[in-house]
Amino acid sequence: MLKYILPIFVLFLFSCSSPVVEKVSSPELVLEMEGPIYEGANTALGVWKNPLEAWLKSKNIDKEKIKNIKIISVKFQPNSPLSEKDLQEITLQLTAKSADMQKIAFLNPYPAKSGSADLKVAEEQNHILELFLSPELTVVADVNINKDFEENLSSKIILEFEISYQP
């Protein structure tokens, strides 16, 4: 009898301990550059307050149960008057008060006829979980543009990421 109970117990123990992986998308995040903006390298900033709060509540889990977060895609959309023809390249980074800045995606060159574009996600991703658990996540876009603008400019991004957590 014991020889049947022990394998069932071991199987149950391992099935309870394997993490669940779920794909999640951010809300549309707005990145802003204050004018005047000159040709060349410029910085756009956006803030995402409590990035995981709604997801944690919807799953009814504690943040301590999250094991890892990995960015899997980034969609970038310039807003008028900025267009894809004005963009040369983009590097996207995340930072927070409690964590170092981390490069998460880039695109060089920006496709001239695409409107929105999928950035190439960085293979090496360190401290992403720490960034997402912070109360405020800052998105920093280094954007090279090929002409001057007098007005403020903005663009939008959507991050898609995988969360590994212990149920």
How many domains does the chain fold into? 1
Look at residue 11 in the predicted model and tell me its pLDDT.
Answer: 46
Asked whether residue 90 is assigned to any structural domain, the reply reads: yes
Enclosing H/E stretch for 38: none
Residue 46 located in a structural domain: yes
Residue 9 lies in a domain: no
Q: What is the pLDDT of residues 108-142, one digit of tens each?
A: 999 988 789 999 999 999 899 999 999 999 999 99
Q: Are 48 and 95 in contact (CB under 8 A)?
A: no
Q: Which domain holds residue 78?
A: 20-165
What pTM does this model have? 0.86
CATH number for the domain spanning 134: value is 2.60.120
Q: Answer whether residue 104 is part of any domain.
A: yes
Residue 5 domain-assigned (yes or no): no
Enumerate residue ranges in the chain where pLDDT < 50. 10-11, 13-14
Examine residue 8 and state whether it is found in any structural domain, yes or no: no
Round to whole Å and give the CA distance between 90 and 10. Answer: 49
